[in-house]
Chains A and B, each alone.
Chain A
Amino acid sequence: MHPILIDDIDQLRQRILASDAHDDRLRELWTLVKGSAQSAPFDFPWFTPFVALITRDPRDIANAAEVLRRYVGKLDSMYFSPGLQFHFWCFAFPHAKWCLYFQWLCTLGAFSDDEAQVLAAQLIEYHFVNFLYGLRTKPEPECVDNQALSLALSTTLVGYLFAQAPHHSAMAEIMRDEGLRRLPGIIGDMPPSGYSGEGSSYMDCVNGPAIPLAIELLQRITGQTDLLHRQLTPNGATPYSVLLMVAREWMPGGLLLPWDNYGYQFGVRAPLAYAARMTGEPLFADILQHECIWSYDIGTGWAYDDLVWTLIWWPAQLYTSDTPVSRSWYEPDIGGALVSTARHYYAMQMWDDSTPVVPTRAHVNPNAVLFNGYGVPLSADGSPTPQGTARFRFADTVRRVTFFTMGQEDEYNYGDGCGGAHSIMIVDGWEGLRMQTDAPQHATTSADLLHHTMVCDVAPTYQERWPDIVRMQRRTTLCADRFFIIEDVCVATQPHQWTTRFLVRPSFVAQPHGAKISTPEGVTLHLIPLLAEAPMYCEAVTGHPAKPDAACGIVDFVTEGTHHHQLTLAWIATTRRRGAAIRQLAAVADDADVLTLATARPLLAQSALRLDMRLPAHMEAAVPTVKRWWYYTSVAKPHDAAWLQLPLGMMNPQLWLDGVAIDLTPWAVSGELIAPHVPITAARDAVDTLEIVLCVDVPISHYEGGGDGTIGLNGGLWWVHPCAEETVVSWQLQTDQVHIQSSERTYVVPYHRAR
C-alpha cells in the first residue's frame, strides 16, 4: 500500500532525508517542518503525519496517530458550531486532508486493523452527512468558486480514498462519483484568465492549493495525463491558468495584490512549487527564490500544511533565467501589471468584474490602479479594521443577514467594496458606485507590453446609472522604465463632476504641485497632474484599510463638464538604501517568560548561540521550540546609518538601543507585513558602536495568527542609510512627448495622448 497522491514515496524520502547534507532551501524547509513536528507535534499537527511518513520513526508515527485520533475526537462538537453548519466548505477540505493523512498513516501501520476500521467508518460517515450535503447545496453548474471547488475536490478525494481496498465503501463510491461529476466543470468554468474574482485571499489560500491536488487526483482516477494544460470545459480556464494567476498576484516585495476584500497579505508556496516542478517556467522559480516568506503559516484550504505540500512538490531543479523574468502581465478580462526591469516600479490596472448589488468580495474597482515601489506597497485597498470606519459606510450599503447564524442577525457594511474606496474615476461624487444587474462591466481593453502600456474603457459600469456616459477610459503607461502616466478620458453627453481618485498609504508630504506621500519605509509617491491643474483635495482616513497602516490618504483631482481628460504622473522614489546585514546575534531562550533587560544581559553575554534573525530560532537552528527569545549584539555603526531595519512579522517586540527602550508601537500593524525602519536618533549619531537588544516572541503553533495567518520573525536585521531622492523638478507635456526633468536627469519620452 502506497501513500496516495505521492508519486514515489521512496524517492521522496531519499531526497528529503539527503537534504540534511546540503545547504539549500529544501534542507531549510525540512528542518523547519521536522523540528516543529518533533518538538511540538500537537501544536504543529498539520506537519506531524508527513514527518512520520518521511522519518518512519516510531515516535513520530505514534504522535501522528494520536493527532489523527484527536482530529476524529473533535468532530462531534463541530456539529454545534455555525462554522460547520453554515460554512461547511471550510470543514470539508481539511476533513479530506485528514482522510488522506489517515491513509498515509495506515501505510505505516500506525493503527491496528480494528482501530483503522473504526476510524475509517467515522471519517466516511462524517463526510457523507456533512459535506456531500454541502456540495449538493451549491447550484450546479453555475457555482464556480473556492467553496464549490473545496467541496467537490474533498468529496472526490474522500470517495476515492475509501471506495478502494480495504474499505470498499458504497457511500465513498457515491461521493467519488458525485465529486468527479462536478470537479472538472468547476475548474473548467473558471474564467479563461484563471482568476475566480474572489481576491488574493481565496485565490491563494484555496483555489491555488486545490488545483495541484485536483489535477493529481483526477489523473489517478481517470488515467488521463497532462490535465494541467487541458481546458476541462470549452472556453474555460486550464488548471495552469489558475496557477499562473496565483503567481501573478505576487507583487515585488512578497505581498499579494490587495484587490477585492482582504487587502495585502503574504502568499502560499505549494502551488508555486507544483507549477515550477511541472512546467519548469522561471516565473514560478523566481517567486519561490525571491519573494516567499518561509516563516509564514496560513490555512491553505483551511489546513496548515502548505509547507508539507511545498516539500512534496519541490522541483528537482529550480529553473532560472539568464535575463530577469518579466513580471508584467495582461489579461483582457482582468487587468494587468507593468513592472520596471529592476522591479522598483510597479503599477497594476484592473477591470475585473465586481459582484452586482452587494459587492462584498469582488469589489467595484473599474480601472483602479495600484502602485508598489522598491518592494513596498504605496496604494491602499482592502477592507477596514474590525472596529470599522464610517468613511465608506453609506445609508444604502448595510446588509443584515440571518442565514449564516443560529438565531442572531449579522450586519455587514459593504460600502468599502463600492467604487469610492478605490483608485478609480468617480462620477458626480457617488462613492457607492456598484452594479445592480449582472451585465458587462467593461468594453474594449488592450495592452502592448512591449511598449509597457495598457488601456481599458469601463463605461458599461457607469452607464447603468448614467446612460449618457460614452467613455470611461484609463490608460496606464510605464515610461522610460522609470515612471508611470495614468491617462483618464471621460466623455458624456451631459455635464458631470469627474473625480480622478487615488487611495494611497500615509502620510502626505506638502508639495507645491500635486500630492505626495512618504511611507514609513521612506518610499515616496508623487502624483502630479500633467495637463491643467485640476482642483485637488486630500483627505486622511483612519481605519481603512486595516493593513498595513489602518489608515490611508485620498487624493482627488476634480473637474466638471461633459469631458474629463486627466494625465497624472505617478513618480516613485526612495529616500533610503539598505546597507549591510547585522548577523550572528547572541541569543537566549526565555522559556519561562521571566527575563528582563537587566537579567537577560548577562545571559546574552555568556551565550554561545549565534543566530541571524532571518527566521524564528527553532526554524533557524536546532534549538527548542520556545516562544520568547532575547537577542544581543554590539556592532560598529556604519557612517551615516540612520535606521535599523528590523525583521518583519515580530510578535510583541521590545527593542533597546544602547540601553534605551524604543517605542515600536508605530509599527504595531504595518510591521506584520513590512519590515520596520527604526530611526537611530541624533543622540546616537555620534557613537561608533551600537548595542542592540531585542526581545521577541515567535509562534510555537500553527494557530497564533487566529486564522489570518501566523508569521514568525523574518528577514534579519539591516543598516539603512539615507540616499538622495530623485525628485521631479519640472515637466512639460508636448504634442507627442513628455518631458520630465528630475533632480538627477532628463527624461524625454514619446507619448501620444488619447484623442
Chain B
Amino acid sequence: MQRYHAMEALFRDTSLIAEASRHADWRMRYAAALAMAQHPDPRWLPLLARMLEIEAQRPLYMQPPARFSRGTGDTRMAEQIGPIDVFFDADYDDATLDAWRCRGRVRQAVLFAIAAIGHADDALLDVLHGYIFDPHEDFTVKAASARALGMIGDQRSIPALREAQAFDEWCTNREASKALQRMQV
C-alpha cells in the first residue's frame, strides 16, 4: 500500500518526481518516468539519462526459464486463477528477481518521456541507438527507442532506424518506418 500511495502521489505533486526517479523500487522509477512524460520538460533529461544508467546495471534479461506449479508459462496461464507458484533452477536474490520482473518497463517509460520532450544529447542518442543494435534487447524497448528517435529527428539516427526497420518484429519495424517517414528519409 505504501508504494501504491507513493506512486499515486507522483501524479499529483511534480516535486516528488526527481527523487522517485532514483528510487530503489523500479515501479517507482517507472511511475516517475510516466509522470515526466505528463509534464515534458528538457530539465528532466539528465534524470532520464541517469535512469537508463541504473537500468544498464541490472540483469534485466538474464532470466532462465521458470517452472510453474500449474501451467507452462505461456498465454494459457492468463485464464487461470491462483495459487500458482514459480520455481527456478537455483536461488536468486531479490534484486535479481526484481530485475526479471521489470525487464524493459522502465526503459520504455523513459523512452516515451524522451519522445515527449523531443530532445536528447549525443550520449543519450548513443544509448537509444544501442537498444536497437542490441540483439538481446526486448522488442518493447526497441520499438519505443525507434519512436523516440523519430521524435528527436537527428539524422545520425538513420542507420539505427534502418536496422530497426529490418527487424523481424512488427511493432519495432513499424515505429522505425514511421520515424524515418517523420524525418523525411
- Residues on A lying within 8 angstroms of B by beta carbon are 42, 45-46, 67, 70-85, 87, 90-91, 93-94, 117-118, 121-122, 124-125, 128-130, 132-134, 136-139, 142-143, 169-171, 173-174, 299, 302-304, 358, 399, 401-403, 406-408, 702-703, 706-707
Contact = CB atoms under 8 A, between A and B. Distances in A.
Contact of A121 (B1, B74, B169): B1
Given A137-B143, A406-B63, A406-B65, A125 B3 contact: yes
A91 B178 CA distance: 28
A399 B168 contact: yes
A174 B88 CA distance: 35
B81 A83 contact: no
B79 interface: yes
A299 B79 contact: yes
Given A136-B144, A403-B139, A171 B78 contact: no
Contacts of A87: 74-75, 78
Contacts of A79: 100-101
A304 B79 contact: yes
Contacts of A707: 75-76, 79
Interface in B119-151: 135, 138-140, 143-144, 147
Nearest to B98: A79
6 tightest Cβ-Cβ pairs between the two chains A and B = A74-B82, A707-B76, A170-B11, A121-B4, A79-B101, A81-B73
B75 A171 contact: no
A80 B108 contact: no
A82 B84 contact: no
Contact of B31 (A118, A128, A299, A706): A128
B66 interface: yes
A695 B76 CA distance: 29
Nearest to A68: B81
A518 to B, nearest CB: 37
Interface string B41-84: 00000000000000000000101111010010111111111111
Nearest to A169: B8
Contacts of A70: 81-83
Given A74-B81, A91-B75, A139-B178, 11 more contacts: A77-B86, A80-B73, A81-B66, A83-B76, A128-B7, A129-B105, A136-B112, A136-B144, A138-B171, A299-B79, A399-B168
A401 B168 contact: yes
A90 B140 contact: no
A75 B175 CA distance: 30
Contacts of B76: 83, 706-707
A137 B140 contact: yes
11 contacts: A70-B81, A74-B83, A75-B82, A77-B68, A78-B84, A121-B4, A133-B140, A137-B140, A137-B144, A143-B171, A299-B78
A171 to B, nearest CB: 6
A45 B81 contact: yes
Contacts of A137: 108, 139-140, 143-144, 171
Nearest to B12: A170
Contacts of B88: 80
Given A80-B86, A83-B74, A125-B27, A42 B81 contact: yes
Contacts of B78: 83-84, 87, 90-91, 93-94, 299, 302
Nearest to B173: A139
A67 B27 CA distance: 26
A44 to B, nearest CB: 10
Contact of A73 (B1, B64, B74, B82): B82
B75 to A, nearest CB: 4
A268 to B, nearest CB: 14
Contacts of B105: 129-130, 133
Contacts of A71: 81-82
B139 A703 contact: no
B175 A139 contact: yes
Nearest to B66: A80
Nearest to A80: B66
Contacts of A303: 79
Given A82-B73, A170-B11, A77 B81 contact: no
B16 to A, nearest CB: 12
A204 to B, nearest CB: 16
Interface string B146-185: 0100000000000000000000110100110010000000
A82 B74 contact: yes
Q: From B38, B101, B108, B147, name the one whose CB has the most chain A CB atoms within 10 angstroms.
A: B101
B169 to A, nearest CB: 5
A81 B77 contact: yes
Contacts of B168: 358, 399, 401, 403
B174 to A, nearest CB: 4
Given A117-B1, A128-B31, A299-B79, A83 B73 contact: yes
